[in-house]
Chain A
């Protein structure tokens, strides 16, 4: 009982360290540095400690300090309680979705089954959708409570876009669920041990549609009409400053990691290496003894998983700095008139193929 709780706590601390502690702050730097490289600029390189700039990495610390010491501004006529509540509602779901994301398989260490997921729920994927959609309230409340025209416009756009793409996202993963016959993310991951059983090969159309829909759900370029800087100042967080603004920012970056993780689990073999099954790896490290081999394989799998996640974050950032923003009617058209019928067709085709193969 207590040992299980201790293991759960270790996993929670690990996940928080990796997402909130590492990915979210480092991505703010990566985004600036990568855009600089893509646009042939130098990028963030001014913040220094005793003359050392460390490639601009100190900007992360500088940003954090700045956000903590900025004034917490609430405009006149705003609903103060809701204005304060909104970033909280936006940030909590972003962190909470990681409860069901497995970052490795199951290993036997010193007689104890270790399952590398905080909560191994049988409704895994549904949990992710359910929790992630709560964040919509955060954005809408933020825009509504600010008493600002830009904020409200941004909030309305956010609401419409997020719920539209929630439908598409839900329908595009149906194909994956049909193929693997489970919603439990650990089982979907475990089913992809064989390279040719990766979701990418079994559901190629679903892969592309899900990626597009999830970027739209996270409101990043090219789907960033809700916060379009050149039209709406900053959309729903126009009236936010200091760490409250930082929380919206953090939620967006954490969601990028979530998208990367879900993409990896559903379509890119989760924690598995291509052509190397867990049994192969275990026999490779046989000389370390049973526990040693399990431990090494576990570390390899966690490393592979976060490597793949990093790759998907990189792809999202390349898209971010490559494509121009779509118009709002184009975004809605893509969601309702292209992705929705296509995902329905994908379900039908997947169904027929599965039936034909059985």
Chain B
């Protein structure tokens, strides 16, 4: 069982080696010339006016919460989809009930404006 992961593990090691090697190479090979003005973060030629670490629009966090809800839904659907032909009518009705409940949830979020970005 775990043996089938051997190839993936080897590829992971090689990919890590490539990625780390590239970072090391670029930090060794490039020139190093530091002076105060150059080290500033880029802001179209201006000095940085405000720090980026401030309050952010709540919508981004809302999307993160919705993502967790709906991705877990997808996780439930994966094994069901694979066994679907064996489950037959029972499987269909069961999943319809599940999808209906989720559909109600989605409609609620939709009506309350949780999906609006305008």
- Measured CB to CB, the residues of A under 8 A from B are 5, 8-9, 11-12, 15-16, 20, 67-72, 75-78, 84, 87-88, 91-92, 95-96, 98-100, 118-122, 126-127, 146-153, 156, 159-160, 163-164, 166-167, 170-171, 174-175, 177-178, 181-183, 233, 238-239, 242-244, 246-247, 328-329, 332-333, 336-337, 340-341, 344, 347-348, 351-352, 354-355, 358
Contacts and interface: CB of A to CB of B under 8 A. Distances in A.
Given A156-B56, A344-B103, A75 B117 contact: no
A256 to B, nearest CB: 17
Given A159-B64, A183-B82, A336-B115, A149 B43 contact: yes
Given A171-B77, A182-B82, A72 B7 contact: no
Nearest to B32: A71
B11 A95 contact: yes
Contacts of B74: 167, 170-171, 174
B17 to A, nearest CB: 10
A340 B67 contact: no
A355 B95 CA distance: 13
Contacts of B5: 119, 121
13 contacts: A71-B31, A91-B15, A95-B15, A98-B11, A100-B8, A119-B4, A151-B41, A156-B60, A183-B82, A233-B44, A244-B26, A352-B92, A354-B84
Contacts of B4: 119-122
Given A147-B41, A177-B81, A239-B42, A84 B23 contact: yes
Interface of B: 4-8, 10-12, 14-16, 18-20, 22-23, 25-27, 29-33, 39-44, 48, 50-53, 56, 59-60, 63-64, 66-67, 70-71, 73-74, 77-78, 81-85, 88-89, 91-92, 95-96, 99, 102-103, 106, 110, 115-118
Given A152-B52, A174-B77, A181 B30 contact: no
Contact of B67 (A126, A163, A344): A163
Contacts, number: 211
A142 B94 CA distance: 43
Contact of B26 (A67, A182, A358): A67
Contacts of B85: 178, 181, 354, 358
Nearest to A163: B67
Given A71-B30, A244-B23, 5 more contacts: A92-B16, A118-B7, A336-B115, A344-B99, A355-B88
B84 A332 contact: no
B101 to A, nearest CB: 12
A126 B82 CA distance: 12
A267 B44 CA distance: 45
Given A147-B41, A340-B70, A178 B81 contact: yes
A178 B25 contact: no
Given A91-B19, A95-B18, A183-B78, A8 B115 contact: no
A230 to B, nearest CB: 12
B11 A88 contact: no
Most chain B CB within 10 A, of A75, A337, A344, A351, is at A351
Contacts of A122: 4
B50 A149 contact: yes
A99 B7 contact: yes
B78 A333 contact: no
Interface centre among B8, B43, B59, B77 (most CB of A within 10 A): B8
A92 B82 contact: no
A333 B96 CA distance: 25
A296 B116 CA distance: 55
B19 A164 contact: no
A239 B29 CA distance: 18
B89 A126 contact: no
A129 to B, nearest CB: 9
Contacts of B43: 148-150
Given A72-B26, A98-B11, A351 B42 contact: no
Contacts of A170: 71, 74, 77-78
Nearest to B67: A163
A351 B30 contact: no
Contacts of A151: 41, 52
Contacts of A118: 7-8, 11
Contacts of B66: 336
